[in-house]
C-alpha cells in the first residue's frame, strides 16, 4: 500500500524540498509544529500546575491533551483543506498549521492591544 503519512517527531527536520515531495505525493504530512504541539502543551500544563501549586485530577490530566490535540487537528483541517483536486480531497497540514499559528499570534496581539496594520 505504500507510505500514507509522514509525521515529524522532531523540531521541523524536513527541509523545503522534502515538504514539496510529501505534498506532491499527497501524503498526510503534519509538520513538527502540529505533530509535537501536544507535548509542548503538556509541558505548559505542568508548568502551570507547578506555579499554581495545584493538583489536577487524573481524568483532567488525561482529557486536556486530547482536547488540545483535537483542537490543533480541527484548525489544520479548517485552514488546510484543499477540497477536491483531480477527484481527490487533500488536506495540506502544513498550510493549515501555518495559517492557524499565524492567526493565533495575531489574535493574541490584538487581545493585548496591538493595532492591526
pLDDT digits (tens, 9 = 90+) for 45-96: 888 888 888 887 888 878 888 898 899 899 999 999 877 666 777 889 889 9
pLDDT at 42 over 90: no
3-state SS record for 10-61:
CCCCCCHHHHHHHHHCCCECCCHHHHCHHHHHHHHHHHHHHHHCCCCCHHHH
pTM of model > 0.85: no
State the chain's mean pLDDT as an integer. Answer: 85
Structure confidence at residue 79 (pLDDT):
93
Amino acid at each position: 500500500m505504500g507510505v500514507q503519512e509522514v509525521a515529524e517527531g522532531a523540531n521541523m527536520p524536513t527541509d523545503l524540498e522534502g515538504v514539496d515531495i510529501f505534498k506532491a505525493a499527497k501524503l498526510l504530512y503534519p509538520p513538527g509544529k502540529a505533530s509535537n504541539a501536544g507535548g509542548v502543551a503538556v509541558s505548559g500544563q505542568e508548568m502551570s500546575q507547578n506555579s499554581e501549586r495545584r493538583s489536577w485530577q487524573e481524568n483532567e490530566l488525561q482529557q486536556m491533551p486530547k482536547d488540545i490535540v483535537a483542537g490543533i487537528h480541527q484548525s489544520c483541517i479548517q485552514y488546510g483543506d484543499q477540497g477536491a483536486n483531480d477527484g481527490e480531497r487533500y488536506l495540506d497540514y502544513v498550510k493549515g498549521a501555518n495559517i492557524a499559528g499565524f492567526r493565533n499570534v495575531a489574535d493574541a496581539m490584538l487581545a493585548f492591544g496591538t493595532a492591526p496594520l
